[in-house]
Amino acid sequence: MKKTYMLEDLDCAHCAAKMEEGIKKLDGVSFANVNFIAQKLTIEADDNKFDDIMKEVKAIIKKIEPDCVVVD
Amino acid sequence: MTKKQKRMLYRIIFASVVLIFAIVLDKAVKNINETLVAALYLTAYIAIGYDVITKAVVGLRYRRFANENLLMTVASVGAVFLGEYTESVAVMLLYQVGELFQSYAVGKSRKNIAALMDIRPDTARVIRGEAKAVAAQEVLVGEIIEVLPGEKISLDGVIVSGVSSVDTSNMTGEALPLDVKEGDSVLAGCVNISGAIRVRVTKPFEESSVSKILDLVENVSSNKTKSEKFITKFARYYTPIVMVAALLIAAIPQFFTENPYEWIRRALVFLVISCPCALVISVPLSFFGGIGAASSKGILIKGSGYMETLSKCKTFVFDKTGTLTKGSFVISEIKSERLDSKTLLGICAAVEQYSNHPLAQSVVRAANKNFKKLLVSDVTEIAGQGICGKVENRNVAVGNSRLMNSRGIFCEDKGASTIHIAIDREYAGSITLVDEIKDETVSAIEKLKALGIKEAVMLTGDKQEVAEKIAAQAGIDTVCASLLPQDKVVILERIMRRDKKVAFVGDGVNDAPVITRADVGIAMGALGSNAAIEAADIVLMDDNPQKLSLAVKIARKTCGIASQNIVFALSVKIIFLVLGAFGLSGMLGAVFADVGVAFIAILNAMRAMRVKSG
């Protein structure tokens, strides 16, 4: 399943790169792209693990930039 | 400014005032109460820095040692221990000012880029009994929408009533309006200028060309340039290295210096400089700006990497038909011994109307419409040869010399653009068509050459003489004619082995393999053609080859700006790192360097969004 989310208050380009790297490493993720300029996260991952993966994704994002909010 | 930004601004003003007050009291007034002064400094410090410190502490819990918040906190707290209250507060203050500037500048860039690409209207006036304003997504295919003069067309469709002229510049970058009437297609994103029109919707909102373009542009980052990849790798190694260096600077001299604090302070300065933010922000921002600028001119670049490759291309390979030429042939000669030209043309058109071949279509266009009155039946198209059928109960065969020969009719092979006609198994005559060169082709190639393109090559399936004539007119250096589609790929590969970066320009319909193979595949006349948009790296929204030179100019400018930023940011950082290590730069200078560089780099990146026409 491929989904796109908005990342509100994503202000640091370096952080965006770190997020993308961290998300790519997650088990079950086949494609991940954090577009800092458009403030968007595009992620493609296994359907059955998707919700769990998204939980981990949100945790990673919170760790790197606490202010950043993932919006569906 | 956002609310968050405004609050930060107030904090900055407040802290600055308190700080100045504290400094004045401290330096100017004798016998001032130390505690009072310290309290003032502390107030200012907390007002300006509380969120940085909080984030730093929270970060520690997650083991994030390399984040700026921690570095700034350590640096400013360290300054307090060294007894430099002013510096401590000033550093934090400057840092926040810088962050605010950055955030504001990036926000502005984003808005500008969004405005450049804000060509999609959200509502439509649909006729359901009476005119109703609804969200564009809700309109179904087949419904009729009404677009008044001055309004943006919200969905792709066909005009069912009304006459108007339409401004297509949002989609194609074309300045001259397009005259449209009943039966013509219009696209979402264009602006209706003169008359009210009613349009029958042919594609739902999400599938309109506008949506597809915006999708492509917004999801562009997956194709990264070398510079962007370099930055990501660089940032990963740079930060830990600088931090370790800072630690060493603080620790090692402790063993043999008389002035331990001095080295700690230098280490702190080092820490403050260590954020690579300027670099990391400005490079992707430059490319995104360039892509936005290009799309405002009707040039769709699917990834910053392609922009980089395009800027380095020195050889351009062109498909002939439809790319350099109009693709709509014009009749140059009708030869027949027995029939008069009009009759022959009419009979030919009667059969050709059932074929999609460009030659067939041209014949149909050129013929007097009377041919439609002729009785036609039993039509069979033979690929690569022609089309046969019965016209007024006589057997008619229309096609190339191979078709004639296969039916036992002798005729000369006069080339790919000559159609032979046989009626009742007897040779009846021939119609020769010429492919006209596009008006813009000559200047397009001239402009490319002026930009330093060394070689222009033409690949075509057409005959050598025909190809060479067009080539001479257009200014093409090398001609390869009589090619089968698979030959084109082979020749392209040969050219690619010889030259470093090669661009191929085609009209997409039959050039997909070549477009895919080239370093940069450019499709023309792509409006509505999914296959071309899929295969190409760069899509020119109108048929105009002159956009090629504009694309190259934008690509070069954008890559130039990105390189400037990298060089600038890196040099300033290194200079200040060295100065800091030798004690020649205070913390203020360091923060200034970091923040100032980021700011300048972002402004420079925004330059990429501006394009001069032509």
Closest chain B residue to the Cα of A17, Cα to Cα: B232
B319 assigned to active site: yes
Compute the average pLDDT of residues A9-38.
Answer: 80
C-alpha–C-alpha distance, residues A39 and B459, integer Å:
43
Instruction: Enumerate the residues of chain A whose CB falls inside 8 A of the CB of residue B219.
Output: 33, 35, 42
pLDDT value of position B457: 92
Beta strands in A9-68 (DSSP E): 29-35, 40-45
- Interchain pair A14, B288: CB under 8 A: no
Q: Is there a contact between A17 and B235 if contact means CB atoms under 8 Å apart? A: yes
Burial of B546 (0-12, 13-18, 19+ CB in 10 A): buried
As a whole number, the mean pLDDT across chain B is 81
- Chain B residues within an 8 Å CB radius of A66: 55, 58
Is the per-residue pLDDT at B274 higher than 60?
Answer: yes
Q: Residue B68: is it exposed, middle or buried by C-beta count within 10 angstroms (0-12/13-18/19+)?
A: buried
pLDDT at B528: 42
**If we measure between CA atoms, which residue out of A33, A13, A37, A50 comes closest to residue B222?**
A33
Q: What does the pLDDT average to over B409-426?
A: 81
Backbone angle region of B189, left / alpha / beta, with phi > 0 → left and psi within -120 to 50 → alpha: left
In the predicted model, is pLDDT for residue B518 greater than 70? yes
Q: Do B64 and A63 touch (CB under 8 A)?
A: yes
Pick B525 or B108 by higher pLDDT: B108
Q: If you ran DSSP here, which 8-state letter would residue B371 be given?
A: G
Write the CB contacts of B256 (distance below 8 Å, at least 6 apart in sequence): none
Q: Which of B319, B507, B543, B594 is catalytic?
A: B319
Q: Tell me the per-residue pLDDT of B219-243, one tens digit each, with 9 for 90 and over.
A: 655 566 777 777 777 777 777 787 7
- Whether pLDDT at B614 is above 50: no
Higher pLDDT, B613 or B81: B81
Question: What's the mean pLDDT in B302-308?
Answer: 84
pLDDT for residue B316 is more than 90: yes
pLDDT band at B516 (very low <50, low <70, confident <90, very high): confident
At B206, list the tokens. Answer: 């999400």
Residue B527 has pLDDT above 50, yes or no: no
A33 and B221 within 8 Å at the Cβ level: the answer is: yes
The predicted model gives B101-122 an average pLDDT of 72
pLDDT digits (tens, 9 = 90+) for B354-398: 887 777 878 888 887 888 888 888 888 887 778 899 988 889 999
Q: Does B215 touch chain A (CB under 8 A)?
A: no
**How far A24 CA sits from the closest chain B CA (Å)?**
13
Residue B317, pLDDT > 80, answer: yes
Measured between alpha carbons, how far is A4 from A31 in angstroms, rounded to an integer?
Answer: 11
Query: What is the reported pLDDT for B216?
Result: 63
* Of A19-33, B212-226, B506-520, minimum mean pLDDT range: B212-226
Specify the amino acid at residue B123: T
Amino acid at B513: P
B88-92, B261-265, B465-469: least confidently modelled range: B261-265
Span B149-165, average pLDDT: 88
Contacts of A56 in chain B (CB under 8 A): none
Kindly state the DSSP code that residue B56 receives in the 8-state scheme.
Answer: H
What is the C-alpha to C-alpha distance for residues B553 and B67, in angstroms, rounded to an integer? 38
Q: Which residues of B318-340 are buried (b: 16+ CB within 10 A; e: fewer)?
A: bbbbbbbbbbebebeebebeebe
What letter would DSSP give residue B152?
A: B
- CA dist list (Å): B318 to A39, B286, B459, B508, B511: 38, 29, 6, 11, 10
pLDDT tens-digit profile of B102-112? Answer: 778 777 777 77
> Which residues on chain B are in Cβ contact (under 8 Å) with A35?
218-221
B446-451: average pLDDT = 90
pLDDT at A23: 87
Residue B280 scores a pLDDT above 70 = yes
Task: Write down the ipTM of this complex.
Answer: 0.75
Identity of residue B145: I
Residue B6 has pLDDT above 80, yes or no: yes
Of the candidates B206, B212, B214, B198, the residue with the CA atom closest to the CA atom of residue B142: B198
pLDDT of residue B386: 84
A9 touches chain B (CB under 8 A): yes
Q: Which of these, B352, B550, B332, lies nearest to B440 by C-alpha position?
A: B550
Give residue B217's pLDDT band: very low, low, confident or very high (50, 70, 90): low
The pLDDT value given to residue B172: 66
- Spatial distance between the Cα atoms of A36 and B284, rounded to a whole number of angstroms: 8
The answer to whether the CB of B379 falls within 8 A of the CB of B350 is no
E-assigned strand segments in B350-417: 376-382, 386-391, 394-399
Contact flag A37-B219 (C-beta cutoff 8 Å):
no
pLDDT confidence band for B553 (50 / 70 / 90): very high
Count of alpha carbons within 13 angstroms of residue B125, beta-carbon side: 12
Rounded CA gap, A53 and B513, in Å? 38
